[in-house]
Amino acid sequence: MRVEIFRLTAQPVTVEVQENGTVGDVLSHPDSGKVLGRDGDPCQDCDERCSPYCINRCEYNDAYYGCGNCYDYRSSFCYEECEYNEGFELVHPCDGCDQTSTDHCFLECSYNEDWQLQNPCDNCQSSECMPRCSYYGRHQVAESK
């Protein structure tokens, strides 16, 4: 539907309102360039709506999209390069990982190289590290850093 508004402006303005929307919906989001319905998702037609910037900084994304919607969710970019996930503040590589507390986690995972996320020695019953322990070599390297 097209509506002309005279009362609020000095000159006639035409806005397009979606079938389930109101003029109030349109006017409540000025400068967005988007027309909202009552369920209003201002990001609906935006190609960048699932980018890290839009999810974390865009003024029109009012919790419509979160990290789980990101193009790079749980990718190496997410953990290593995303400026919004420094220190794994938003998305942690161990959350939901089926390799947590396994040999892969302790010996191969690139996010746990220094055992900063998961450390097998934390629950060790031995008073000192023994050479027969499968983590002995890695423990010695971690201790020397």
In three-state form (DSSP H/G/I as H, E/B as E, the rest C), the secondary structure along 91-144 is: CCCCCCCCCCCCHHHHHHCHHHCCCCCCCHHHHCCCCCCCCCCCCHHHHHHHHH
> Reduced to 3 states, what is the DSSP secondary structure of residue 79?
helix
pLDDT at 27: 63
Q: Is the pTM of this model over 0.75?
A: no
Q: Are 97 and 105 in contact (CB under 8 A)?
A: yes
Phi and psi at 140, nearest 5°, equal -65, -40
The segments of the chain whose pLDDT lies below 50 read: 1-9, 31-39
Per-residue pLDDT at 13: 55
What is the reported pLDDT for 28? 64
What pLDDT is recorded for position 78? 93
pLDDT of the residue at 91: 92
